[in-house]
Amino acid sequence: MRVVLVGGHGKIALLLAGLLSERGDEPVALIRNPAHEAEVAATGARPVLLDVENTGPDELAAALAGADAVVFAAGAGPGSGAARKYTVDRDGSVMAATAAEAVGVRRFLQISAMGAGEPAPAGTDEVWRAYLDAKTQAEQDLRDRDLDWTVLRPGRLTDDPATGSVTIGQRVGRSDIPRADVAAVLLALLDAPETAGATLEVVAGETPIAAALAALR
């Protein structure tokens, strides 16, 4: 399976690239900084220089051509202002989905955030409010498309080791989850076409990932 990771130097994307490589798939990681090429290549992914903030849809479509799936893992990241939440987290996803449609890549996984789709809590700062709004708009754009999309909303991310067990569903309650487990869930979702059209929250839990996904059917 050839899987294009948009935002290929993100922590979750790097973990997912390693998992894909380990099982013999072909991860392609789109990155904006050439200094990250070696780190991406070390996961077994093929790095491709492409900055979603400074490229056009045709160039992105060319990078997605021939893929079996796209994982949108890009994000403006900590320290960025409100404006970049829209140019990366929203506009980047919109462009990636448009490009996927253009070249016939139907499977599209989007990493969103818990709290998207809901009003921001009172007292939320401007940047976090913009982040949730950008994710909400990106989700809605995807729902309006003829793609086999799945939206995944992780809880608060940690760098703890993977456990292999989660709680996943439409509403699961707020909690933490290791990035390594999010990557493993994304890997499992790539093999679960029946989850197309679902928006799922995921946090740490007691149920092995395969069983947790099977219980959604």
Q: Hey, how many other C-beta atoms are within 10 angstroms of the C-beta on 97?
A: 23
* 86 a catalytic residue: no
Q: Which of 95, 23, 100 is nearest to 68 (CA)?
A: 100
Domains by residue range for the chain, with CATH: 2-214 (3.40.50.720)
For residues 48 and 26, the answer to whether their CB atoms sit within 8 Å is: no
Q: Which two tokens stand for residue 36?
A: 């990250």
| CB-side neighbour CA atoms (13 Å) of 103 | 23
pTM exceeds 0.85, yes or no: yes
Cα 63 off chain centre by: 17
Per-residue pLDDT, 125? 85
Among the listed residues 72, 108, 131, 149, the single catalytic one is: 131
Q: Based on C-alpha coordinates, what's the Rg of the chain?
A: 16
Rounded Cα gap, residues 117 and 99, in angstroms: 24
Cα 123 off chain centre by: 27
Q: Which of 188, 122, 182 is nearest to 153 (CA)?
A: 182
The pLDDT profile of the chain, 217 residues, written as one tens digit per residue, is: 999 999 999 999 999 999 999 999 999 999 999 999 999 999 999 999 999 999 888 999 999 999 999 999 999 887 788 899 999 999 999 999 999 999 999 999 999 999 998 887 877 788 889 999 999 999 999 999 999 999 999 999 999 999 999 999 999 989 999 999 999 999 999 999 999 999 999 999 999 999 999 999 8
